[in-house]
Amino acid sequence: MMPYRSYLVTGATGSFGRKFVGTLLRELPHLERLVIFSRDELKQYEMQQEFPPSRHPQLRYFIGDVRDAARLRRAFEGVEAVVHAAALKQVPAAEYNPFEAIKTNVLGAQNVIEAAIDAGVQAVVALSTDKAAAPINLYGATKLCSDKLFTAANGIRGRHPIKFSVVRYGNVLGSRGSVIPFFLQQRHQGVLPITDERMTRFNITLEDGVQLVQYAMEHMWGGEIFVPRIPSYRINDVAEAVAPSARREIVGIRPGEKLHEEMITETDGLNSLEFEKYFVILPSMPFWDAEAYRKQFNGRKCEYGFRYNSGTNAEWLSVEQLRSLIRQHCDAGFQPL
């Protein structure tokens, strides 16, 4: 159980934020304050219908943008722990509006860091993405930069007792804009657009993502990048799971897309530890004794040449497993067409 009494979640009205907030409200009876920080008033209104302050008096709904440093400082007052989930995430939008992505994902990350230090926050966990490993698009590049800012922030905290760490994972099953909801919508037209038949992706559920953030918040030393051990899926298997009778139309890889995603590059693998349910990319700056860290959590160094790639993963989701996950997390009454 996480020891903090007050939390703030940036981007809290997104898919992850709503699940994380619901988990905190359910599991932490001692919770005194939980700040919902996001820029979309409509999404906040909708979230208030699900989590009304009348039933959850510890909730505070703050309209704000991570680009606004003054608003962050105000929102962070009295907060002990922060989960930073706010980002501009759509790859094509970031390619077309590059500096807007930089202002939110990079400058916004630095604003969060400085506000957290100044406000006396004790722990910050930032969400990353598999696209930050060896990035080929602007979104991935901004998230790599953000990851570097958060891990390096442990070296500028001075006397403030604060820790910063990062959680990096792949596609979230059923999240807005992801492939499975898109295919569920498109299947009624009888055609599914496939970018490339060889394409693979990592897969994680919202619940597993929340659990990893909780684990990181409880166990981080500051500067780690936590990477979960999760399965991959093939895009053709997703199409088969959703609509085996639909025609598949090859449309080609979009600008900024990879054939396979990666969460730990071969170079990062030289500085990574392997545990039962996750990996840790160690901070490049030696903030603490890596060997003592490895022993405390019973890990081992990753083998030379190790890389964590969705195309060479050891664990794969079958068509039937994908259908079961869709019923659990997207549509309880789902039947393939």
Q: Which residues are catalytic?
A: 131
Q: What's the farthest any 2 CA atoms get from each other in the chain?
A: 62
In angstroms, the CA 215 to CA 143 distance is 21
The token duo for 195 is 């970018």
Give 52's contacts (C-beta < 8 A, 6+ positions apart). Answer: none
* DSSP codes, 76-95: TTT--EEEE------HHHHH
Query: Helix 319-329 vs helix 235-242: angle between axes, to the nearest 10 degrees?
Result: 60
Q: DSSP letter at 154?
A: G
CB 151 within 8 A of CB 164: yes
**47 vs 61: CA distance, rounded Å:** 9
Which tokens go with 208? 């597993």
Nearest one of 301, 244, 236, 315 to 273, comparing CA atoms: 301
Distant-in-sequence contacts of 40-49, Cβ < 8 A, 24+ apart: 40/13, 43/13, 44/13, 46/13, 47/12, 47/13, 47/18, 47/21
